[in-house]
Amino acid sequence: MIKKVLKQAVEAIEKEILAVRETPSTDVLFNGELEKISGEFIYTFETQNKGLRFAEEIKAKIDDKEYTVHPVEFKEKKVRLEFPKNVGNKIGEVFLEWENDYVLKKMEEHLLKLQEKADDIPQLKALLQPDKYFKERSESPQVKTDEWRNEAQTEAIEKSLKNNILYVWGPPGTGKTATLGYIIANHLRQNKRVLFVSNTNRAVDVGLLSAMDALYEVAPDFDLQKTTRFGEAALDDPRLEDILFEHQVKTKLDSRKSDAVSLSNLLANYESLQEKVDDMMRNGEEIPQKLEMETQMAGNKVDEYGGPRELEEKVEKLMSVNERSELKKKQLVATTLAKVCTSELFYHLSYDAVVVDEGSMAGIPYMLLMAAKSKNHLVVAGDPMQLPPIAITNHPKSREFLEHDIFTYVSKSESTEDLFNWHDFNPEFTCFFDVQYRMKDDLAGVISSVFYEGRLKSGKPADGRQLESGNAASVALIDTAKYNPALEQETGERGFKPINEVHHRLIEESVKRLTKNHAPDDIGIIVPFRNSVYKVRSHLWKKGFADIEVGTIHTFQGREKPVIIFDTVMSGEWQSGGKRHYSVRPFDEDKNGLSVPRLLNVAFSRSKELLVIIADMEHIGKVYGSKFLGRLLGSVKEISL
C-alpha cells in the first residue's frame, strides 16, 4: 500500500507543478534602490511576499522593457533582486512574474527518494494504516503537566509518549496548541529529539511559544539554546529572537572570531619572524640571539597546533560554522513543513518524535515526508472539520488526492459521522478534545450541534474569562435583504470577482460601531473570495479604517480575535432585466462537498466575544434554503442579537 500511495503522491505533485507553471505568481514592487556594488546591479525593495524567496528566475517588466532577474536574498521584509544591467539608481515600479514551483519540485525529489526505501520506514505504515501498525510501549510514561489540562488533553500527552502514532482531533478553542506544547515538553524531558512543524510561520511560532511555556512548568532547567526556530519568525516576540537558528549561528561565529584572530596573529607573527631569519641567512648575516629565540618560541607555539598548514586550516574552520552540524545538535527544532522539504540541512536527519500541528491542512505528500523523519513517535494534530489542503491542478484524481487531509484519508470518511465512528472505534491511537474554552455558550452550542454532533462542551478558560452568555448574545446576524443588495462583477477581469456595495457600506457601519468599544486590532473581517478582500480593504482604507484586518477564511485558520465580521458577499445579480440568484463553490456542497462545512466552521469559530454575520437572507433562502449554509444561518438567527 505504501508504494502505491507514494506513487500517487509523485504523480499528483507532477500535475500540481504543471498547473503552477501555467498560472505563475505575480507581484508589483515599488521604490527599488540600486546598491553600490561594483560589477553587480542589485536593487532592494520592500515586500511581504515571501513567495519570492522560492523563485529561481523572475521576469521583470519596467515600462515596456523586460528583464530576467534573480532573487539574491529575502530578509526583514526586503528582497534583493539582481538585474542583468543597470536600469538607473532607482526603480519606481516593477511588475514581477515567476513560477512558484520550487517547494513542489523539492517535495517531488524527496518523494522519489522515499520510494526506494519505503519498506524500511515503519512509521510510514503507522501513518497510513494505524489500525494495523499501531504500537505502544508496555510501561506507562511519567507525565508532567500544569493544573489546567483536562482529561482528554492529559490522555493525549500520555498517548504521545507511549504510541508510535497518535491522531489528535482538536476543534477550535479546545487548547490543542497548548497541549501540543506539553507533548513536546514531556518528550524533551525524556531527552528525546523533537521536530515540531506546521504549515505557516505564525503557527510554528505560536506552537513553539506554547512549548516554551510548558517547559517552564515541566522542565524549568531545560537549556533553551538546545531549541531552535529554523526559518523566519512571523511573531515579534523577544523570546523567539535568541533561539532563531540564524541568530544562534551568528552568535557562535562571533564568539569564535576572537580565537581565529588570535591564532591568525600567531601565525602571521611566526611567518614574519621566519621571513626575517631567512633573509638574514641568505645574506650571510649573523642572526641575533633575541630574534632566534623569538622565532623558536613562535615556532613552538605553531607546532602545538600541528604546524603552519594545520594552524591555517584551524583558523579557516573558526571563521565558519557547519550549519548542518549545529542543526543536528538541537534537541527541539521548530519550522514549517516547506522548510523541511527545501533546506538541504534536513537531508538524512531524523527525530525521535515528530509533532505536526494543523495536520488537517497538510497534504498527504507532506505527511508522508514527516512520517519518514520520525523514528519512534508521530503526533498528528488538527481538526478535519476545518480547512483541508488546497490544490490548483484540474486533473481530477490528482486534485482529489492533494485536497485529502490525512484524517479523512486514513479513516476513509466522507462525513462527520464517519469521522466520529473512526475515532470511537480506535481510541488507542485517536483523541478528541471535547471541551472548548473560546466561544460563549450560545455560539458554541450551534457550532457543537452543527459541526460536532453535539459532542463539544464549554469549559471555563484558564485565564478566568467568563464564557456564559447571560443576556448578551455573541452573534449578530445582519439581514441585508431589506436594503435590496445586488451583486456586480468587476469589469474587464477574468474569473469570479463579485462586488456587493451594500455589504461594503454595512461593514463600514459595523466597524464604526465596534471601534467605539474595541481596538482596531481586535476586529477581523472574513470574506469568502480573495478579490473581496481587496475591495473591502480598499473601501475601509478610504473611510479611515486602515488598521482593520481583512482576509479570507484561509487567512484566519488557526487564529482568533475578540470580534469577527463575516460577510457572505453573495446576493442576486441583475442580468437581462431580472435578478438571477445562483450558488457558488465555497457555499454549495453539491460543488464543494465536505469542504463547505469545514470552511464555514472556521469562519464561525474565530471570534472570542462577538461574531457579526452579514448576509442577504432572501438570497440565502432561495439558493441555500435546504443546504448547509441555509440551515446554519437559520440556527444562528435563533440566537442572534
For residue 473, the model assigns a pLDDT of 64
Asked whether 636 and 446 are in contact (CB, 8 A), the reply is yes
Residue type present at position 74: F
Inter-residue contact 131 to 426 (CB < 8 Å): yes
Contact 381, 356 (CB under 8 A): yes
Whole-angstrom Cα distance, residue 473 to residue 563? 13
Cell of 11: 504523480
The answer to whether 345 touches 206, Cβ cutoff 8 Å, is no
| Residue 463 clears pLDDT 60, i.e. is over it | no
Extract the runs of DSSP E, i.e. beta strands, from 330-439.
Answer: 332-336, 351-356, 374-382, 430-432, 435-436
CB 340 within 8 A of CB 354: no
Enter the C-alpha cell of residue 187: 518528550
Q: Which helix (H) or strand (E) holds 524?
A: strand 523-527
Give the span between the Cα atoms of 141 and 151, in whole angstroms: 16
Q: Which of the given ranges, 137-151, 338-352, 485-499, 576-590, has the highest pLDDT on average?
A: 338-352
pLDDT reported for residue 468: 46
Q: What average pLDDT does the segment 540-564 reach?
A: 90
**Residue 561 CA, distance from chain mean position:** 18
pLDDT of residue 232: 85
What confidence tens digit (pLDDT) does each residue in 69-86 have?
988 888 777 888 989 989
Residue 510 has pLDDT above 50, yes or no: yes
Separation between Cα atoms, residue 323 and residue 244, nearest integer Å = 13
- How many Å is the Cα radius of gyration of the chain? 29
Handedness of CA 614, 620, 625, 628 (dihedral sign): negative
Q: What share of the chain is helix, strand, coil (3-state, %, to 5)?
A: 50, 20, 30
Tell me the CA distances in angstroms from 320 to 241, 266, 344, 448, one per residue in order.
Answer: 21, 19, 18, 55
Is pLDDT above 80 for 255? no
- CA-to-CA distance for 60 and 43, rounded, in angstroms? 12
Q: Which H or E run includes 126?
A: helix 122-128
Q: How do residues 360-409 score in pLDDT, each as one tens digit?
A: 999 999 999 999 999 999 999 999 998 889 888 999 999 999 999 999 99
Determine the distance from the C-alpha atom of residue 78 to the mean position of all C-alpha atoms in its chain, rounded to a whole number. Answer: 20
Nearest in space to 618 (alpha carbons), one of 502, 484, 476, 499: 484
Residue 459 vs residue 364, higher pLDDT: 364
Q: How far is Cα of residue 259 from the mean position of the Cα atoms in its chain?
A: 39
* Residues 570 and 358: beta-carbon distance below 8 Å: no
pLDDT at position 174 over 80: yes
Among 244-253, 457-466, 476-485, where is mean pLDDT lowest? 457-466
d(CA 215, CA 219): 5
Sequence-ordered alpha helix ranges (H) in 519-568: 530-542
